[in-house]
Amino acid sequence: MRLTDPVADMLTRLRNALHARHQKVDVPTSKLKVEIARILKEEGYIANFKPTEEEGHKVIRIYLKYGANSEGAISNVTRVSRPGCRVYVRRTEIPRVLGGLGINILTTPKGVMTGRQARKEGLGGELLCEVW
């Protein structure tokens, strides 16, 4: 089976694992997905992640993070730019997620970063997803 949108698949797996209260979730690996996982860890939305190999397939094992009442650290994650409808933003057009409570993840000429970092560095790019 060939996926047309691997990033959306990763976000859906995260969302489903959080709803099912799993401790970890495996996602097929790619450089972009590793960068997204790195940002989620830096911003405190996941506990940890590590690239590993499962039955001959390279995967990223993402360890999910839960609060005191076992609610997930991620309450929602949405894909913004899709293969059928790419969304690009200038540095001045980067939206704030929930008035600054959430983050958005962009691909820029200097790599994958949060909207806050891109705004600070004066970079625009493709708006991948929003997390809160």
Residue 97's Cβ-side half-sphere holds a number of Cα atoms within 13 Å equal to: 21
**Cα–Cα distance for residue pair 131/44, rounded to 1 Å:** 11
Of the pLDDT bands very low, low, confident and very high (cuts 50, 70, 90), residue 1 is low
Angle between the N-to-C axes of helices 31-42 and 6-19, in degrees from 0 to 180, rounded to the nearest 10: 40
pLDDT confidence of residue 128: 98
Average pLDDT over residues 113-123: 97
**How far is Cα 65 from Cα 85, in angstroms, rounded to an integer?**
31
| pLDDT over 90 at 80, yes or no | yes
Would you say residue 30 has pLDDT above 80?
A: yes
User: What is d(CA 15, CA 98) in angstroms, rounded to the nearest whole number?
Assistant: 18
Which run of H or E residues covers position 14? helix 6-19
Complete domains list, the chain, with CATH: 6-64 (3.30.1370.30), 77-131 (3.30.1490.10)
CB 64, CB 27: distance < 8 Å: no
Share of the chain above pLDDT 90, in %: 93
pTM here is: 0.95
Residue 76 DSSP symbol? -
Give the pLDDT mean for 73-94: 96
